[in-house]
Amino acid sequence: MGSHVDVIKQSWNQWAETWYWKYRTEEAIAGILAAPESVFHPVTYAMIREAVPDLRGKRVLVPSSGDNHAVFAFHLMGAEVTSCDISVKQLESAQTIAEARGWEIEFRCEDTMQLSKIKDNEYDLVYTSNGVHVWIDDLNAMYRHIQRVLKQNGAYIMFDIHPFMRPFGTAVRDRIQVVKPYDAVGPFGEVPTYKWRMQDMVNAIASAKLTIRQIEESYAENGSFWVDDSTDEGEGLSDQDLAGFCDWERNALAALPQWLSVRANKGNND
């Protein structure tokens, strides 16, 4: 596992200073300032408000914080936020943004499968966003430590690509292209990634003694879901083109849910 983690860490340190800068532009940050809730899918945001109706003064942990958009949003909504990521460069970039605006956010370099410097029973909410699970090779360890750092009755909420998307190619077309069996989970590629199934995620959450409260399967908010944002693939596409990607008669994969959100609690409170 160590070698996998090292490769992932090195890759993200490189990406943080190349194509990932588009998530840190003044325009991107201005959008978060104007509407922090826009960072979250509306279905997931409703889950957050159900779990923690008032975020002011609540302690929130965001492991594998990536672009830190969720971190910034939680801070703007009044939470005391800790951002953890395996990439020092990602954290340094986010910290620069926060310090320039006087935001008091704690940044820690941490492996989400260990959270070794995070104390037990510290957080009211742990949130993982899109793109976390694909880098995790030990889901049980990840969820065991998420459960550990939550306060009793604290909430965990996840948002990620729906596993039903994983067997298929990404090309938008009227015929589905199967690129792997559903139960082939990886690792795949030189920078190892994993394509976990629904059962892998749910069983890992349950094995960590987190009580699942709600599962939502959602559709993409707009056609940009179907555009690879690590390239210039979306350049030149009109709003009408993007809207068409969400029409399942034109894009067969749009008939499946694109997003998965899960809410769970540490303890058996209602």
Higher per-residue pLDDT: 61 or 250: 61
Q: Is 72 exposed, middle or buried (0-12, 13-18, 19+ CB in 10 A)?
A: buried
- How much is the average pLDDT of 83-89? 94
Instruction: Answer with the residue of higher pLDDT: 256 or 268.
Output: 256
Q: pLDDT exceeding 90 applies to what percent of the chain?
A: 73
How does pLDDT run across 116-162, given as a tens digit for each residue? 999 999 999 999 999 999 999 999 999 999 999 999 999 999 999 99
pLDDT for position 249: 87
Are 224 and 117 spatial neighbours (Cβ–Cβ below 8 Å)? Answer: no
* DSSP reduced 3-state for 237: coil
Nearest to 48 by CA among 212, 260, 201, 261: 261
Pairing label, strands 150-161, 123-128: parallel
Average per-residue pLDDT for the chain: 91
In the chain, how many H helices and how many E strands?
Answer: 8, 7
pLDDT given at position 263: 98
Tell me how far apart the 2 most distant CA atoms of the chain are, in Å: 51
At 70 the pLDDT is 97
Q: Report CA 25 to chain centroid distance, whole Å.
A: 20
* pLDDT for position 61: 98
Is-above-0.85 flag for pTM?
A: yes
The type of residue at 215 is I
pLDDT of residue 3: 64
CB 188 within 8 A of CB 195: yes
Q: What is the pLDDT of residue 1?
A: 43
Nearest CA to 148 out of 107, 106, 113, 108 is that of 113
Is the model more confident about 2 or about 109?
Answer: 109
Confidence (pLDDT) at 235: 60
The pLDDT score that the predictor gives to residue 237 is 79
pLDDT value at residue 269 = 52
| Of 269 and 30, more confident | 30
On the question of pLDDT at 101 being above 50, the answer is yes
Asked if 250 and 244 touch (Cβ cutoff 8 Å), the reply is yes
Q: Which of 65, 63, 214 is nearest to 146 (CA)?
A: 63
The pLDDT tens digits of the residues spanning 185-210 come to 999 999 999 999 999 999 999 999 99
Helix (H, G, I), strand (E, B) or coil at 126: strand
Model confidence pLDDT, tens digit, residues 8-52: 888 888 877 776 678 888 899 999 999 999 999 999 999 999 999
pLDDT reported for residue 180: 95
Q: How far apart are CA 199 and CA 89, in angstroms?
A: 33
Three state DSSP letters for 27-44: HHHHHHHHCHHHHCCHHH
In the chain the domains, ranked by start, together with CATH numbers, are: 2-166+185-232+259-266 (3.40.50.150)
Q: Are strands 259-266 and 150-161 parallel, antiparallel or unpaired?
A: antiparallel
> What is the pLDDT at residue 231?
54
Contact yes or no for 69/39 (Cβ under 8 A): yes
Query: Long-range contact list for 195-201, CB < 8 A, 24+ apart?
Result: 195/134, 195/163, 195/166, 196/133, 196/134, 196/136, 196/139, 196/163, 196/166, 197/163, 197/166, 198/163, 198/164, 198/260, 200/139, 200/163, 201/133, 201/139, 201/158, 201/163, 201/260, 201/262
Q: Is the peptide bond preceding residue 187 cis, with omega within 30 degrees of 0?
A: yes
167-189 pLDDT, tens per residue? 998 666 667 889 999 999 999 99
